[in-house]
Structure 1
Amino acid sequence: MRRFSRAVLAAGAALCVGLVPAAPAAASATTTASPVRARATGFACVAAKAAKPPVPGVVLDVHGPGVDFTGAAGNFRAGGRKLRPTDAFRAASVTKTFTAAAVLKLAEQGKVGLEDRIGEYLDPGLVKRLSVIGGRSYGETITVRQLLDHTAGLYDYAADAGWMAAVQARPHRTWTSGELLDWALTHGKPYFKPGEGYHYSDTGYVLAARIIEKATGRPLHQAYRSLLLDPLKLHDTYLERRGHQGDAPLSHPYLGETDARHWNPTFDTHGGGGLVTTAADLTAFTRALFEGRVFAKAATLRTMLTPTRQSGDEAYGLGIQRVGSGDDSLWLHPGFWGAIMAYAPARRISVVATVNQAEDGGALLTLLQDAYKLAAGGSVPACA
C-alpha cells in the first residue's frame, strides 16, 4: 500500500548520511565476547527505543559480517504479552518485491516477457479500460515491466482517501482484485501515458498478480509458494487468507489506535501486499535475493536492480528501491503496516524490521537508520 511507503521513501536519502566511511573488516573466529555483547546490547537498545507509543512492539533482525542479531521489544498487541522475535507480521508492500521476483522467475522460464504488452495475458476488455487519456486508451501499450517499475501511469487506488475510508468503514468486507481495479478506474485518472513518468501504484501490482496467475495456471498464493516460498524454505511466509494462518502467531498491526488484526485481509492481498512473514524468513529471502540464490541467472538480478527512474541518489528498479550511493547504497522496500527489508550490497548487511504501526511517526525509518549505523560500525548516541 502507498501511504506508509511514501513517507519512508521520501526520507530515504537520509539513510546514508553520517555513516562510517569504510566497511569494517569481517569479524574473525577469535573475536572476543565483549564487543559482541556490546553490539547486541546496542541493537536491543535501538529496538527498545523504537517500541514506544504509538508503536506497540518491534522485531529487529540484522545480519552481516560480524553481525548476527535477532530481537524484539514491546508487545504482541497493545497491553498484551511480550512480542517475540519469532512472531509473524504483515509485510504489506514488501510483498511487491516478492511479486516482482515471481514475475522475473517466470521470465527466466520463458512464460512471461518483461517487454510483452499486458494484453497478451489479461482480458482485452479490461486492457481497453486502462490508461484512458483524452478519450483514447493506451492500455494496449503497457508492458509487464512498466507494471513492476511504476511507469505505467495507472491511478493508485491505495492512495485514494475514499478507498481507505471504505476499508475502515467496513473492515470485514471481502475485496476482489476486480473491485480494486474498478476503484482505480472510476475514482481517478491516469497520471501520464505509459512509459512517460514514474508514479508508485498498487494498481499495477494487482495486474502483475493476474499475469502470474495466468502464466502459472495457479491462484496467487500457490504461485508464490511454488516459485519462491518452497524453493527458499520460507515455511512461515504465506499470502494471508481468511481461514488460513501459519504456525507462527500473527502479531497485531495498528492504524493509529485501531487494532487491525481481524480486518478482512483481502483489501491488500492481490499482488501489492498481503504476505505474512517472520523476521527470519524475510531475512532469508533478502539475503538469498542478493546472494544470487533466487534466480537461475545473475543477469536476472541485475535486471531487477536496474533503475528505470532515478533522482539523485534514489532509484526504483523492479519491486525494490535504492537509496544512497557507493558503500552505503541500500536497496529496500517498506510496507504500510510498518515492515521493511533492506540490504547494503557493499557491506553485505541486511536489516529486517517491523513496528506493527501504520502511523508510526517515523519510528521505522529511525529504527532502520540506527540499526544500519550500528551494523556498519557506527554508533547511536542514545544507545552508546
Structure 2
Amino acid sequence: MRPPGRTSAVVAVLTALFLLLTAGPVAAAEAGFACLVGRAARPPVPGVILDVRGPGVAYTGAAGAFRLGGRDLRPTDAFRAASVTKTFTAATVLKLAEQGKLRLDDPISKYLDPSLVGRVHVLGGRSYGARITVRELLDHTAGLYDYAADERWIAEVAAHPRRTWTPERLVDWALAHGRPYFRPGRGYHYSDTGYILAGYVIEKVSGLPLHRAYRTLLLDPLGLRGTYLEHWERHRGAPLSHPYLGSVDTRNWNPTFDTFAGGGLVSTAADLTTFFRALFEGGVFRDPATLRAMLTATPQSKGTYGLGIQRLTSGDEVLWFHPGAWGAVAAYAPARRISVVATVNQAQDEGALAALLRDAYAMALGRSVPGCG
C-alpha cells in the first residue's frame, strides 16, 4: 500500500538537504545519531531504527517501542520494507537478464498469458498490452492503472484487514476500477500493478515461485538471512515489529494486499544496508553495464526514476533511494559511499521518515543538525 504523497515528501526534504551539501564526509559522533533516533520516536511514530554507513561513519540504533505499550524496539528487529521491495524485484529481473533468460526490451507477451496481456492495457477500445516491455514495467512507463494509489482500494483493505488478496485479484481490482494513464512508453506513473506483472515475468523466466527467485538470485548469495517475502515464506530471523496506519496496529492484518513484487519483503536494517551497498559496490551484478542500465532514469520521469530505484540530483550530487509505505527507506550516495536505512513503522507520517533521512545523511556528511549537534 502506498499512501499518496509519501514519495514527494521524501524528495522535497532531500532536495532541501542537497542544496546545503558540504565538501565531504567526516567522522560523525554516535551520540548525534542516537539523538536523531530518539527525537524521531515520538507520537504518532511508535519506534525508529536507523543504520548509517560510510567513510568514518558506522551507526546502528533504535528508539521507541516494538509495539505501543510493549518492549523497547531493537536495532535488529525486522520491519516491513514495503516498496523498497521494488528495488529487489528490479535487481532480480536484471540478474535474469545477465543470465540471458530475458531481455529488458522484450514485450511482456513473450512471457505472460495472452489473455492477461490482452486486457491489462485497454485504451479507447484498443489493447496495448502486447506493446508493453519488461523495462516499462520496472520504470513505471507502461501506463498501467495503479490500484495502490486508489483511495477506494485503501479503504477496502482497511475495512477487510483479514481478506486474502491474490496477485490475480489485485490486477482484477485495478482493471475494474481504473483505466490506463497513457499508451506504453508515453509517460510516467508509479504503478504497483506493473510490478505484479514483473513478478509474473520473474516466475515464468526463472521457473521458480517469486519468493524462491528472490532467495536464489539475491537473498542467499548476499547472506540476507533476515529478509523474506511475507505470507509466501515462513517468518525467519528477528521478530517483526508492529507497523501502524495512524493509530491502527496492522501487524496482524493479512499482508497479501502488499506481498507480491511491488511490496512484501520483511527485512532488517542490517540486511537492507548490505543489499544497497552490494548493489552499488559490485556485489550483485557481474557486469557493470547491468547497474548502469538500472540507474538509467527515464526522461518520462524527468530523470527521477530508473529500474526499481529513484534518483535525486543537485549539481554533481546524486542520491539513489526507495521509500516504502510502512515508513521504511533505503538510500545510497555513490560518490560519498554513504548508505542510510531507516524505518519509523508509521504509514501516515511522511515528515518523520523524510526528516530522519535528511538529518542522518547531513550528519554523515559532517554537518551539524539543530538540536542534535
Which position in structure 1 is the counterpart of 2:343?
A: 354
Q: Which amino acid aligns with 1:185?
A: L
Which position in structure 1 is the counterpart of 2:270?
A: 280
Q: Which amino acid aligns with 1:106?
A: L
Structure 1: distance between partners of 2:261 and 2:147: 13
1:91 and 2:81 matched: yes
1:370 and 2:359 matched: yes
Which position in structure 2 is the counterpart of 1:30?
A: none
1:383 and 2:372 matched: yes
Which position in structure 1 is the counterpart of 2:256?
A: 266
Which position in structure 2 is the counterpart of 1:342?
A: 331
Name the CA shift for 1:242/1:319 in 2 (closer, same or farther; >3 Å).
Answer: closer
- Structure 1, residues 341-368: CA drift from partner, whole Å, max 9, x if none? 0001111100000000001141000000
- Structure 1, residues 41-61: CA drift from partner, whole Å, max 9, x if none? 000001111110000000000
Q: Which amino acid aligns with 1:188?
A: G
Which position in structure 2 is the counterpart of 1:188?
A: 178
Give me the TM-score of the superposition, normalised by structure 1. Answer: 0.94
Q: Which amino acid aligns with 2:162?
A: H
Correspondence list, 1:284-363, <5 A: 284-309=274-299, 315-363=304-352
Alignment RMSD (CA, Å): 1.5
Q: Which amino acid aligns with 2:331?
A: A
1:222 and 2:223 matched: no
Which position in structure 2 is the counterpart of 1:212?
A: 202
Structure 2: distance between partners of 1:147 and 1:77: 36
Q: Which amino acid aligns with 1:110?
A: G
Tell me by how many angstroms 1:12 deviates. 5.2
Q: Which amino acid aligns with 2:366?
A: G
Name the CA shift for 1:223/1:54 in 2 (closer, same or farther; >3 Å).
Answer: same
Which position in structure 1 is the counterpart of 2:103?
A: 113
Tell me by how many angstroms 1:382 deviates. 1.2
1:21 and 2:22 matched: yes
Name the CA shift for 1:338/1:49 in 2 (closer, same or farther; >3 Å).
Answer: same
Structure 2: distance between partners of 1:254 and 1:7: 20
CA contact (8 A) 1:307 1:317 kept: yes
CA contact (8 A) 1:61 1:283 kept: yes
Which position in structure 1 is the counterpart of 2:124?
A: 134
1:148 and 2:138 matched: yes
Which position in structure 1 is the counterpart of 2:2?
A: 2
Which position in structure 2 is the counterpart of 1:231?
A: 221
- Structure 1, residues 52-77: CA drift from partner, whole Å, max 9, x if none? 00000000000000000000010101
Count the aligned residue pairs.
372
Which position in structure 1 is the counterpart of 2:39?
A: 49
Three-state SS of the structure 1 residue aligned to 2:308 is coil
Tell me by how many angstroms 1:21 deviates. 2.6
Name the CA shift for 1:311/1:149 in 2 (closer, same or farther; >3 Å).
Answer: closer
Which position in structure 1 is the counterpart of 2:61?
A: 71
Indicate which of 151, 165, 169 corresponds to 2:155.
Answer: 165
Tell me by how many angstroms 1:133 deviates. 0.9
Name the CA shift for 1:20/1:133 in 2 (closer, same or farther; >3 Å).
Answer: closer
Bigger drift between 317-326 and 1-10 goes to: 1-10
Name the CA shift for 1:249/1:177 in 2 (closer, same or farther; >3 Å).
Answer: same
Unaligned runs of 5+ in 2: none
CA contact (8 A) 2:81 2:326 kept: yes
Structure 2: distance between partners of 1:3 and 1:193: 25
Give percent identity, aligned residues only. Answer: 67
1:60 and 2:50 matched: yes
Tell me by how many angstroms 1:327 deviates. 4.9
Unaligned runs of 5+ in 1: 28-35
Three-state SS of the structure 2 residue aligned to 1:3 is coil
Tell me by how many angstroms 1:10 deviates. 4.8
Structure 2: distance between partners of 1:93 and 1:306: 19
Structure 1: distance between partners of 2:189 and 2:166: 23
Structure 1: distance between partners of 2:308 and 2:72: 33
Give me the TM-score of the superposition, normalised by structure 2. Answer: 0.96
Structure 2: distance between partners of 1:252 and 1:120: 41
Name the CA shift for 1:155/1:311 in 2 (closer, same or farther; >3 Å).
Answer: closer
Tell me by how many angstroms 1:115 deviates. 0.2
Which position in structure 2 is the counterpart of 1:31?
A: none
Name the CA shift for 1:219/1:365 in 2 (closer, same or farther; >3 Å).
Answer: same
